[in-house]
Structure 1
Amino acid sequence: MNGPRGGSSSLRSAFSYCVQQVRNYDYHHYLCLLELPPEMRKPAFALRAFNVETARAMDVASDPKIGLMRLLWWQEAIDKLYTKKTVNHPAAQALSWAISEHSISKPWLKRSVEARIRDAQREADDIPESVEELERYAEDTVSTLLYNTLQAGGISSTAADHAASHIGKASGLVLLLKSLPYHCTRNRHHNYIPVELAEKHGLLVKQGGRSEILLDNDSREGLCNVVFEIASVANVHLLKARELVGKVPAEAKPVLLHSVPVQVLLDSLSKAHFDVFDPRMQRGVLGVPPLWFQVRLKWYSWRSMF
């Protein structure tokens, strides 16, 4: 990806860092961004790299307190960027350029990092009550990213915003499902299985006035049922987004190709009978061969669909 016209070598290095981060840690969305028009790619990669940095803050930290400090640092960094102060971080440098050149909305950036901060501050027994709470988290962290990308492209469309809202919610939900095995190893799986579904499918255990999620070999079927129900909600959002395809302007459709990873992951979950621990879920790109994923993405792009 070419650097910004007239940009300094440090800014070109910052964008190179962003592209590499997205490619390394968010590969399926990296492929989606390559389908954007060239003039939209730079701000889109800056935004997606910001998302990578904040999404991984808790995962790369050896201590949860350090992870929280990283998120608080990003919260402060956003304020600095909008007052044209220098922030010494390549992703922040690229984001500063995107804010300056494309009038990126500050409230959506703040909303994203603040949602992650609230999530990081959860206590071990602070379990979401319903799927609606997960939907709000997905809206705050994923839909906002799509809103900002549309804005970076100068696209103003109510239909596109509505589609982005649904795609963001669907994407957030299925990615939370995919990450369940990882969070189990870090003892954070309870954060993303709602009380209402855990209780319905026999996963909720109450001990000493505290509620815990039970995940063992005997509860595998119950977990699959929970995953199916959440995946079904994600699928409804995807269908609602696609109902708007005729109303969404052509220039917005490449941004909304983020629906393709959602569909691929839903299909992979279905083939695995909604068992997130099935080894097939970790193969390739979201459970399918990389070439097949790219062909499917190109097919949707060529047909101006999402």
Structure 2
Amino acid sequence: MNNANTYSGSIRAAFSYCVQQVRSYDYHHYLCLLHLPPAMRKTAFALRAFNVETARAMDVASDPKIGLMRLLWWQDAIDKIFAKKNVEHPTAQALSSVISEHKISKHWLKRSVDARINDASKEGGVLPETIADLEQYAEDTTSTMLYMTLQAGGICSTSADHAASHIGKASGLLLLLKSLPYHASRQGRISYIPADVASRHGLLITAHGRSEIKMESGEALSDAVFEVASVASLHLQKARELAPAVPTEALPVLLPAVPAQVLLDTLRQRNFNVFDSRILGGVQGVSPLWYQLKLKWHAWRNKY
């Protein structure tokens, strides 16, 4: 009996840790998850906490090699979880619990961490070649979270999956744009503008067989950001066009379209100047109250 109590206590603590991680480091999604039915919420928090762990692995490490080791640890942890082995980490314990409760695909979890490992392993900040490369990264790291949440809710719908794919791509692209100043200050370079886009806007410098982007925050960079953001906007539009065919029970899972749209609108208001510090204020650049009202309005009307 004591063992059972200890186990349930440690699982409760693990889920509490996941909720806190998402609230601290992914607040706009934390508020989205509160609109999920309780049966899906636990799984969604475990998945989003896993995403926080892997997304931040490189950022919290003083040495890129240590960040990469963290990601490889998570790659190994997924194998152990699916082999029903205990992994001493609260997020891993929460994941293990929801995986045994729901049929969550190992494929999506692996795909997510593999994409981050590939990104972290690039030699000296190799640029993505095209927007399609960025879209694939967003699909692998962001759309997968939505696929697994739909799986946990037992929702089998091609329309919901397609909408999730578009929302994940839009969200992933926009968050990469928002992160450009952070990566520029940390690494001394602009990382997530594709080479072909940079070239079109006169931002690409090629020297000694390597390509990099001019460190500037002028009109040319804003035009490049606009080009990537326009692709994200198209994904949101396509996701909404699918709405009539999406089952009602899937709609709360797709609420992350709202923070993506809010961030897109914020970028538009700031003329796509990602170095405008107001973009980082509040939640996705708007006041927390306004963001919550917008989210509640969408949830109440069963829209995303």
| Same structural fold, with TM-score higher than 0.5 when normalized by the shorter chain | yes
Instruction: Look up the match of 2:266.
Output: 268
Q: Secondary structure at the match of 1:60?
A: coil
1:25 aligns with 2:25: yes
Establish whether residue 294 from structure 1 lines up as the match of residue 274 from structure 2: no
- Say if 2:117 is the partner of 1:117: yes
Gapped regions of structure 2 (runs ≥ 5): none
Q: Aligned equivalents of 1:190 and 1:289: distance in 2?
A: 28
Question: 2:212 is paired with a residue of what secondary structure?
Answer: strand
Computed over aligned residues only, the root mean square deviation of the Cα atoms, in angstroms, reads 1.3
Deviations 1:56-100 (A, max 9, x none): 000000100000000000000000000100000000000000100
Once residues 32 and 96 of structure 1 are traced to their aligned partners in structure 2, the CA distance between those partners, rounded to angstroms, is 23
- Structure 1: which 4+ aligned runs deviate by more than 2 Å? 188-191
Helix, strand or coil for the counterpart of 2:256?
Answer: helix
User: How far apart, CA to CA, are the structure 2 residues paired with 1:206 and 1:47?
Assistant: 40
How high is the sequence identity, in percent, across the aligned residues? Answer: 68
Equivalent in the alignment of 2:220: 222
- Give the match's secondary structure for 2:187: coil
Query: What is the aligned partner in structure 2 of residue 94 from structure 1?
Result: 94
Aligned twin of 2:239: 241
* 1:207 Cα deviation after fit: 1.4
Encode CA deviations 1:238-294: one digit per residue, 9 max, x unaligned.
Answer: 000000110000000000000000000000000000001112101100100000000
For each residue in 1:196-232, what CA deviation from the matched residue of structure 2 results, as whole angstroms up to 9, or x when unmatched? 1111111111112221111135xx1111001100000
**Matched residue SS, 1:28:** helix
More displaced stretch, 191-200 vs 22-31: 191-200
AA matched with 1:142: T
Partners of 2:125 and 2:44 in 1: how far apart? 36
Match of 2:279?
Answer: 281
| Distance (Å, rounded) in 2 between the aligned partners of 1:292 and 1:189 | 33
| TM-score, with structure 2 as normaliser | 0.97
* Partners of 1:216 and 1:248 in 2: CA distance: 43
Give per-residue Cα distances to partners, 1:25-63, cap 9 Å, x unaligned. 000000000000111110110000000000000000010
Alpha-carbon separation, structure 2, partners of 1:40 and 1:268? 30
Code of the aligned partner of 2:234: V
- Structure 2 residue 16 is matched with structure 1 residue 16: yes
In structure 2, the residue matched to 1:128 is: 128
Letter in 2 for 1:11: I
What SS class does the counterpart of residue 211 from structure 1 fall into?
A: strand
The alignment's TM-score, normalised by the length of structure 1, stands at 0.96
Question: Equivalent residue of 2:35, what SS?
Answer: coil
What residue identity is the alignment partner of 1:156?
C
Where structure 1 has 5 or more consecutive residues not aligned to the other structure, the ranges are: none
Q: Aligned equivalents of 1:18 and 1:241: distance in 2?
A: 28
Aligned partner letter, 2:85: K
Displacement of 1:7 = 6.0
